[in-house]
Structure 1
């Protein structure tokens, strides 16, 4: 259905353009700096439309090129920052891990000391029979 609608729209536009061309076939004189040319008006309009489309395409292409170049540079920066972030996270985890291991070792020593004190107190508090 969509293709048929597009075909009908294109056909109507083509018919309008043909009618426009038939009514604008009078010769027109164009003066350049060094020469003069006499062509039908529709040919001149067609050439002007093509030149306009070409200029628009060239401007769009250069704009897209610079945008793509900028995007690529930004993606490189993002990757670099992600790498730095990952490295910073790994370093922080390693540092915290070492701190936790040191704290755990201290707590283990405290537990052993408390167990030893408890054992000494139970041995001294126990009545001798």
Structure 2
């Protein structure tokens, strides 16, 4: 459900950007460091949106990679710690010599 709502929101955002870009078809002057050029505003809007999306995707991918690496490291550490522990199944640890609780309750009557 979360994936569907995210997809719908992304499509709505893309539609708004496309509509905004189609309305603004005038030519604008873009100043680069060493030169100036006239480009249709629709290309500037679409290129800016694409560049922003790629930047967000890149940073999100890097973050996801770091999180996955951290999870793998922690899972490996958990496996090492649990492998070092041996469960105790002796009679003393299991409480075989201990008196039953219900007998103690009956003694008080």
Instruction: Place the TM-score, normalised by the shorter chain, in its bin.
Output: 0.5 to 0.7
Aligned-residue Cα RMSD (Å) equals 2.8
Tell me, in whole angstroms, the C-alpha distance in 2 between the residues paired with 1:25 and 1:43: 9
Partner of 1:109: none
Asked whether 1:42 is paired with 2:81, we answer no
Q: 1:18 to 1:72 in 2, by over 3 A?
A: closer
Higher radius of gyration, 1 or 2: 1
Instruction: Give the structure, 1 or 2, with the largest relative contact order (CA under 8 Å, sep 6 or more).
Output: 2
TM-score (norm 1): 0.54
Partner of 1:52: 52
Structure 1 residue 84, shift from structure 2 partner: 1.2
Question: Which has a greater percent of helix?
Answer: 1
Aligned length: 83
User: What aligned pairs does 1:1-129 form with structure 2 within 5 A after superposition?
Assistant: 14=15, 19-86=19-86, 89=87, 92-93=88-89, 96=90
Partner of 2:100: none
Instruction: Show structure 1 runs of 4+ deviating over 2 A.
Output: 16-23
Deviations 1:32-60 (A, max 9, x none): 10121211111100000000001001100
SS of structure 1 residue aligned to 2:37:
strand
SS of structure 2 residue aligned to 1:33:
coil
TM-score (norm 2): 0.63
SS of structure 1 residue aligned to 2:52:
helix
Could you tell me which runs of 5 or more consecutive residues in structure 2 were left unpaired when the two chains were aligned.
Answer: 1-6, 93-109
Could you tell me which runs of 5 or more consecutive residues in structure 1 were left unpaired when the two chains were aligned.
Answer: 1-5, 100-129
